[in-house]
Amino acid sequence: MRRIRLVIRGVVQGVGFRYSMQHIARGAGATGWVRNVTNGTVEAEVQGDAAAVETVLDWAAKGPRGGVVDGVSMTEMPTTPDESGFEIRRDA
């Protein structure tokens, strides 16, 4: 099990980034959340088996059509128990 926190920079708001990430994460079997941040970035925490987390990380480096990812910062996090689903949170 692995959990990461991502901060994605670029043209990542207003392009369906959160909804697309939610779709990719759910399809990969990952749990966690994603949200817009007032500074123009997107922040997410993703948890799952190594393959699920890697699938989301690989997608985040490219983003959805219409988006432009300039960079992704990743931090390893401790895993959390009993988390289910992948939600879109309110802007931070």
- Given this model, what pLDDT does residue 11 score? 95
> How many CA atoms, within 13 angstroms, populate the side-chain half-sphere of residue 92?
14
Task: Point out the catalytic residue in the list 2, 9, 36, 65.
Answer: 36
Q: Cβ(61)–Cβ(72) under 8 Å?
A: yes
Q: What are the tens digits of pLDDT across the range 31-81? A: 999 999 999 999 999 999 999 999 999 999 999 999 999 999 999 999 998
- Given this model, what pLDDT does residue 86 score? 96
Task: Point out the catalytic residue in the list 2, 5, 9, 18.
Answer: 18
Residue 39 known to be catalytic? no
- Given this model, what pLDDT does residue 24 score? 98
Q: What are the tens digits of pLDDT across the range 6-15? A: 999 999 999 9
Residue 92 lies inside a defined structural domain of this protein: no
Q: Which residues touch 82 (CB under 8 Å, ≥6 apart)?
A: none
Q: What's the pLDDT band for 92 if we cut at 50, 70, 90?
A: confident
Residue 25 lies inside a defined structural domain of this protein: yes
Structurally, the chain folds into a number of domains equal to 1
Residue 36 known to be catalytic? yes
**Domain extent for 51:** 2-87
